Structure 1
């Protein structure tokens, strides 16, 4: 990457903390931190963030300490997002805050846990991890004396909610292409308009693609180290093969672990360089003069090139077949789904088995007479579990020999 890629002053289309739309609950500004730095710090200090340490990325926590968890993945996304934002003259702190928060709503056991909980919640409005993230940030974190949630700025909440793009068609309307908005988002939108029909700010767009860069490359790393496929097999893929050959030509006989790392780091660099080049072309074409103008554009400005998008397709197809659907992964995820389903069914049938605090919440919110309220509280409890806590809770409730 050359110095030409780096912008030496803040871009006019980046989010300026001095121009923030503020917080839902007014607070005095920090004398030592910008509003976006404060958002980042609140996320890092939250209970939900700490629990990501024992939440599955692909492999359940007990399969090995080396494999990535939701926590290490989020840290890697944040690092990539900061680097890209710095090169584009964007607000690094905002990009980092969105990156660190984007996975807070994930259940234990990754997408398998989410699928199981969504199926359980189907009669009660469903479950989606992005919506759960908003619940955590605005309701479920109970740390502050003056409000529930973390009371983040409008820009951070907007970025987390919309980091994958607009949720409503242009012109508004409270349905996303015929689908209703998720429960929490629909209710929050009535309180504070997040402009769901527009693109997110540039920093959130960066965080979304930093997520793609991180999981594509690091899933290759984890899959290789787990023995699900070999270097020779991934070398057949268009995005990986040229890099493997480049490394092997320069370092003949390089040991396998170093070959893997050198390949992964070069692939990450290639994707970042491609993203910066394509994004600069789009910025030159549209020339947004402010963050608001950038949000109103008909397309995202932070993007990979068409060639890079195309090169990622066979990689994602390979990972889907050889990693995410590998029989070893399928067996673990099958067990995990049964754990989540069994916990949900028991708590719905016998809410008096919930911990005392959760029983009090059921009583306060009317869950004793309203199954939908009860189901949402049960989903909150299960979604907040780590992998190991969910397995321990399952044992406590279903194993006669386990301590309660």
Structure 2
């Protein structure tokens, strides 16, 4: 059976029906069209100026949200193809997975979650769904209302990392209350809060790229030495951020497994081309190791086909542990350093002050689409959501510039 035959009419459906393109245009599948829409979206371009781990202005080598998303997309596409699912869906989901992130990465996300409490909170993944179905204008319905990029149901579902609304016990969620109608349409055919297979591929690809490449950036920046580091401090970071129940013995054994990878460095990084090549070989080997283990375990668990809700991705426990150890290294040596903690505090102050200023100023201070949303809002809660949408759309640099213009505050 061909891949396209595994995705039925419901999987290919869009919120607004669209006729085929003119006959002289290249023939593309619905999922290839989805991918093209992500590549050309303004929100995708803005990712180039948004923080991944450290600010994009800090160094020419470090990754930003866009380069991270491109790397996640490559991993997701290769794994999806190996499993026999539609690679365009997984790649598009990977390209979209960070669209909802505000300025200053997860630090900015925490600020907006606090200031947006009165309108239902803020979550980067819920913001991604809002962008794809409302804020990123490409198609309008019969009433003239934006339906965002008007992606297919299968692609939109694959972009949803947390397919459930906010509750008191779910700090992570994938949809705001006023986006529930389109969420319900998207989830037709789903069972409960289960991720579709393609979303699971995207989620794993994000974890793999995040863990490996953040360590690579840390090594090149001179913050991480893979030949010698404080395991006690790193294990504390692993437990604080990722695996609270992991024991020292388990983490020690996991590190030993990682060090057994043939390309694990035996000498400190020195900045030479030889060192750079060795580091790239290590990242390539680790990605191959993780994805190969997942592919093998998934095939061993059942016959497939590995599409939508007909199968699940299987991630071995040892693979999750190895990813968590790499994340812990980056967390301790990059994200918990004193200079970064001080910078993050200034960033939080800036975003909170910017939200307050825009709330006071109203539509005159907003970009035209958000000013229109403000005027159409029915109450203060809805207007606060508009302000949060505006701030979340900004890049790191534009957030600083807006703050300087509206708040006369200090630059970050």
TM-score when scaled to structure 2?
A: 0.81
After superposition, the Cα gap between the structure-2 partners of 1:312 and 1:397, relative to the gap in structure 1 and judged at 3 Å, is same
After superposition, the Cα gap between the structure-2 partners of 1:263 and 1:178, relative to the gap in structure 1 and judged at 3 Å, is closer
The reply on whether 1:119 has 2:130 as its aligned counterpart is: no
Q: Shift of residue 184 of structure 1?
A: 4.2
**Quick check: 2:263–2:281 contact (8 Å CA) kept in 1?**
no
Q: 1:342 pairs with 347, 353, 357, which one?
A: 353
**Quick check: 1:48–1:384 contact (8 Å CA) kept in 2?**
yes
Task: Tell me what 2:362 maps to.
Answer: 351
Task: Tell me what 2:238 maps to.
Answer: none
The reply on whether 1:243 has 2:234 as its aligned counterpart is: no
After superposition, the Cα gap between the structure-2 partners of 1:71 and 1:282, relative to the gap in structure 1 and judged at 3 Å, is same
SS at structure 2 position matched to 1:197:
coil
What is the alpha-carbon distance in structure 1 between the residues aligned to residue 307 and residue 69 of structure 2? 28
Q: 1:293 pairs with 293, 310, 330, which one?
A: 310
- Deviations for 1:67-106, whole angstroms, at most 9, x for unmatched residues? 1011001100111111111111111111111111111100
The reply on whether 1:321 has 2:312 as its aligned counterpart is: no
Q: Shift of residue 144 of structure 1?
A: 3.4
The reply on whether 1:265 has 2:265 as its aligned counterpart is: no
Q: How does 1:84-103 map to 2 (within 5 A)?
A: 84-103=79-98
What is the alpha-carbon distance in structure 1 between the residues aligned to residue 219 and residue 404 of structure 2? 32
Q: Shift of residue 186 of structure 1?
A: 2.7
- 213-222 vs 19-28, which moves further: 19-28
**Quick check: 2:208–2:323 contact (8 Å CA) kept in 1?**
no
Q: How does 1:5-404 map to 2 (within 5 A)?
A: 10=2, 15-16=6-7, 20-30=11-21, 32-144=27-139, 146=141, 147-161=146-160, 163=161, 167=164, 182-194=176-188, 195=190, 197-233=192-228, 237-238=255-256, 240-243=258-261, 248=266, 255-284=274-303, 287=304, 291-294=308-311, 301-351=312-362, 354-355=365-366, 357=368, 358-366=370-378, 370-399=379-408
What is the alpha-carbon distance in structure 1 between the residues aligned to residue 109 and residue 353 of structure 2? 14
- Unpaired runs of 5+ in structure 2? 232-254
- Deviations for 1:319-347, whole angstroms, at most 9, x for unmatched residues? 22222222222222211111111100111
**Quick check: 2:294–2:316 contact (8 Å CA) kept in 1?**
yes
After superposition, the Cα gap between the structure-2 partners of 1:48 and 1:232, relative to the gap in structure 1 and judged at 3 Å, is same
- 27-36 vs 274-283, which moves further: 27-36
After superposition, the Cα gap between the structure-2 partners of 1:330 and 1:40, relative to the gap in structure 1 and judged at 3 Å, is same
**Quick check: 1:235–1:241 contact (8 Å CA) kept in 2?**
no
What is the alpha-carbon distance in structure 2 between the residues aligned to residue 122 and residue 377 of structure 1? 13
Query: Which structure would you say has the larger RCO, counting Cα contacts within 8 Å and 6 or more residues apart?
Result: 1
What is the alpha-carbon distance in structure 1 between the residues aligned to residue 108 and residue 14 of structure 2? 32
The count of residues paired between Structure 1 and Structure 2 equals: 372
**Quick check: 1:142–1:149 contact (8 Å CA) kept in 2?**
yes
- Unpaired runs of 5+ in structure 1? 1-8, 169-173, 295-300
What is the alpha-carbon distance in structure 1 between the residues aligned to residue 125 and residue 170 of structure 2? 19
Structural RMSD (CA): 3.0
TM-score when scaled to structure 1?
A: 0.83
- Deviations for 1:121-168, whole angstroms, at most 9, x for unmatched residues? 11221000111111101111123355430111111111112x35x538
What is the alpha-carbon distance in structure 1 between the residues aligned to residue 310 and residue 266 of structure 2? 46
Q: Shift of residue 355 of structure 1?
A: 3.0
After superposition, the Cα gap between the structure-2 partners of 1:93 and 1:254, relative to the gap in structure 1 and judged at 3 Å, is closer
What is the alpha-carbon distance in structure 1 between the residues aligned to residue 147 and residue 156 of structure 2? 15
- 69-78 vs 83-92, which moves further: 83-92
